[in-house]
Amino acid sequence: MANSSKRTVESRGLAGPTAELSRFVAGLALPDVPARVVEFTKGLLIDWLGSAYAGKGSHQAEAIEAFARAMGPSDGPSTIIPSRRRTSPYFAAMVNAAASHVVEQDDVHNASVFHPAAVVFPPVLAVAEAEAKSGREILEAAIAGYEVGIRVGEFLGRTHYEVFHTTGTAGTVAAAAAVGKLLGLPAETLIHAIGSAGTQAAGLWEFLRDAGDSKQLHTAKAASDGLLSAYLARDGFTGALRILEGSQGMAAGMSRDADPAKLTDRLGERWATEETSFKWHASCRHTHPAADALQILMRQEGLAADDIVEVVTGVHQAAIDVLGGVVNPMTIHQAKFSMGSVLGLIAVHGVADLESFERHVLGDARVARFGSKVRMERDDEVDSLYPRRWIGKVSVTTADGRFLTSRVDEPKGDPGNPLTRAELEAKAVRLAAFRNGATPSEMRATIERIWAMDTGVEAVQILPK
């Protein structure tokens, strides 16, 4: 207790963006959040839960759950969603975060290039089960995690994303903020949780060149390390007080264009949570704008795959950085990061959904043949507007000599081109049923509980028993 008191005195009155974020999280109350943002957050939870179920049976989720079985308790208060086994909050968060990032259908925030759901909801739900938290408390914690994580991602900037997977780095801080909020930590304690989270933040893009499984490890570690950081802080464990902006902090080691002003941009006025996009195609978000543009063009012109001899996609540089190294995908997951594979599915099968990836992306010669016709080119306009806007441009040359173009300013699922409530729910049901994670009736009942989760103050049971 003496250490805790000393820590409180030292932290009180501290200036700087990390401290301001900590104060914002500690003071956040659901009545102060616009009702539309609260409802939007429920939709994000529904969407994420579908992805968590869809990860069932994947070798990535099963490997991490095997680790949890070996290293963690054989029972506990928190649910591992794909297997429905119970364990500690730490290991449940770890496995669920990995599972929900497998099929590439979890949400994304454009300006931060960050997937919040996969690192925020797993630790929040795991701790909520252990601590008997209400639906209102869960929503408060989730919104805190989104608001912090998005701003950290924006702060770290484009140069960070060249090497680092922002969901692994900013996601660790987001998870710590969310769990810290759920545990009721005051600002002078939250800042230490953020400090411990930031020093553990990691995730490098090199895995993609070799079809490695590290992307799911990034979310697993971000969720569980963020949870660890919050619990350690609660028990008096101290961390760096300026882990984000300090001279030897995250930005100093991970970015060349960090902007500290973005960390506190209109806190409590701008709700970054509602800027989050839902993913429609089951692939890397960098492929979506071009996929939408090609899909629209082929429908409008009545084109078949064999009618097209070349496709040029005008993209931002980050798309080339992430996707450019994937030439001959070796796994289904790696194919989700191949522009040629994704556009091949769109051209040949009309969709790039979970089923088309499973059935066709590696075994259908027509998809591969079309993919060989696709190339990416950096487009000045697209690149200048990224990451605030993700514009899709395609230029198509047809077999009969026509040159056609198509443009999408907001991919399907963006806030300006949103999914309807019916589309959102249908997507979640479809994802949950993909590998028999949950039956349609189970998922629909869960969806109803989520829409009503803030109507009481008692502990809420979201997951089916």
Judge whether residue 11 has pLDDT over 70: no
Is the per-residue pLDDT at 1 higher than 70?
A: no
- Select 285-408's CATH number: 3.90.1150.10, 3.30.410.10, 1.10.8.60, 3.30.1330.120: 3.30.1330.120
In whole angstroms, give the CA distance from residue 89 to residue 450: 20
Q: In what order do the strands lie in the sheet with 392-398?
A: 374-378, 308-315, 392-398, 403-408
Residue 374 and residue 311 in contact, taking contact as beta carbons nearer than 8 Å = yes
Which region, left, alpha or beta, applies to residue 281 given φ > 0 means left and ψ of -120 to 50 means alpha?
beta
Which amino acid, 31?
P
The residues spanned by each domain of the chain are: 2-275, 285-408
N residues, the chain: 465
250-285 pLDDT per residue, tens = 999 999 999 999 999 999 999 999 999 999 999 999
Residue 256, SS3 per DSSP:
coil
**Residue 283: what pLDDT?**
98
Banded model confidence at residue 13, pLDDT cuts 50, 70, 90? low
Residue 457's pLDDT band (boundaries 50, 70, 90)?
A: confident
Q: What is the pLDDT of residue 178?
A: 99
Dump pLDDT digits (tens) for 154-187. 999 999 999 999 999 999 999 999 999 999 999 9
Q: Which residues contact 15 (CB under 8 A, 6 or more apart)?
A: none
What are the C-alpha distances in Å from 431 to residues 42, 327, 355, 463? Answer: 17, 28, 10, 15
The mean predicted confidence, pLDDT, of the chain is 96
Higher pLDDT, 421 or 457: 421
User: How far is the C-alpha of 17 from the C-alpha of 15, rounded, in Å?
Assistant: 7
Pick from 124, 128, 169, 130: which is nearest to 150 by CA?
A: 169
Interval 428-437: pLDDT, tens: 999 999 999 9
Percent of the chain with pLDDT over 90: 94
Helix spans in 324-364 (H): 332-335, 339-349, 354-360
pLDDT over threshold 80, residue 465: no
Is residue 5 scored above 70 in pLDDT? no
Q: What does the pLDDT read at residue 458?
A: 84
Q: Which of 39, 36, 43 is nearest to 422 (CA)?
A: 43
Rounded to the nearest 10 degrees, what angle do helices 214-234 and 117-131 cross at? 40
- Residue 313 belongs to what H/E stretch? strand 308-315
Other C-beta atoms within 10 Å of 180: how many?
33
pLDDT in tens, 343-368: 999 999 999 999 999 999 999 999 99
pLDDT at 12: 55
pLDDT of residue 131: 96
Position 65 confidence tier, pLDDT thresholds 50, 70, 90: very high
Q: Is the pLDDT of residue 188 over 70?
A: yes
CATH architecture of the domain formed by 2-275: Orthogonal Bundle (1.10)
Instruction: Give the per-residue pLDDT at 375.
Output: 97
pLDDT at position 8 over 90: no
pLDDT-derived band of residue 335, with 50, 70 and 90 as boundaries? very high
Asked if 326 and 208 touch (Cβ cutoff 8 Å), the reply is: yes
C-alpha to C-alpha distances, 167 to 91, 171, 215, nearest whole angstrom: 19, 5, 9
Checking if the pLDDT of 72 tops 60, the result is yes
Structure tokens at 112: 């931060």
| pLDDT over 70 (residue 330) | yes
Cis? peptide before 17, omega within 30° of 0: no
**10 has a pLDDT exceeding 50:** no
State the burial class of residue 133 (Cβ atoms within 10 Å of its Cβ: 0-12, 13-18, 19+): buried
CA–CA gap between residue 171 and residue 222 (Å, rounded): 6
- 418: pLDDT strictly greater than 80: yes
Sign of the alpha-carbon torsion through 213, 214, 215, 217: positive
Residue 3 pLDDT grade (very low, low, confident, very high; cuts 50, 70, 90): very low
Helix axis angle, 2-11 to 187-200, nearest 10°: 90
